[in-house]
Amino acid sequence: MTASIELPTGYQHPAVPALLGYLRDVTAELGIGLESCTIDHDSPVSAYVALDTRLPHYPGRDLALLWDEERGWAAAIETHSGEDLIVLRYLGGATVAPSPRRVARFVTALHEDDHTVGRPDPAELRSAGDDRELAALLHRPAVAR
C-alpha cells in the first residue's frame, strides 16, 4: 500500500517529508488537520485532502483537494459509484507549491462559484523526476503564511 499520511518504514519518495510539512501548513490554513490527508508515496508523488464542506452546485457530493508534483492543486468531487473523482478546477499558477493562503483562497472561490481563481484545464507546472528540486519547492519561503 502506498497511500497514507504516516511516513513508511520502507521506500518513500524523497520529497514526502517536505510534502508532509507543506500539507501541514495547507490544512492548518484550511482549518482542518492532517487526518484529512493521504499521500501516495509512488512517483509522481501526490496527495488527497478531504474537505469538510460541499459545494452549492453539488450538495450530495463530498469535496476534496488533489495535489500532484506535476500539476499542483485541483478541486474534485466524489462520485456516488466509487469511480474516479470528478475534477472541477485546477489552481494553476507558477508553482506546484503555492502558499497555503492561495490554496485556501482557491477553496473559497469554489464555494463562491468564482471562476476568476483557477482554471478549467490542467497545466503541467513541472515534470516529475527531480526529487531534490521538488523537496526544495515544498520547503521554499512561499510555503510559509
pLDDT, tens only, 91-138: 999 999 999 999 999 999 999 999 999 999 998 899 887 788 888 888
Quote the pLDDT of residue 79.
Answer: 86
Question: In the predicted model, is pLDDT for residue 20 greater than 70?
Answer: yes
Q: Are 107 and 91 in contact (CB under 8 A)?
A: no
Ordered by start, the domain boundaries in the chain are 3-143
Going 141 to 127 to 40 to 7, the CA torsion angle's sign is negative
Query: What is the 8-class DSSP label of residue 7?
Result: P
- Say if residue 144's pLDDT is above 50: no
Is residue 10 predicted with pLDDT exceeding 80?
Answer: no
Q: Which long-range contacts (CB under 8 A, 24 or more apart) does 119-124 make?
A: 119/89, 119/90, 119/91, 119/92, 120/89, 120/90, 121/90, 122/71, 122/74, 122/87, 122/90, 123/71, 123/90, 123/92, 124/70, 124/71
Q: What is the pTM of this model?
A: 0.86
Q: For residues 56 and 108, is the Cβ–Cβ distance under 8 A? A: no
Cβ atoms within 10 Å, residue 95: 17
Give DSSP secondary structure letters for 50-93: E-S---TT-TTS-EEEEEETTTEEEEEE--SSS---EEEEE--S
Q: How far is CA 64 from CA 36, 73, 94, 132, in A?
A: 9, 10, 22, 27
Summarize pLDDT for 24-83 with one digit per residue, the tens.
Answer: 999 999 999 999 999 998 888 999 999 999 999 898 899 999 999 999 999 999 987 778
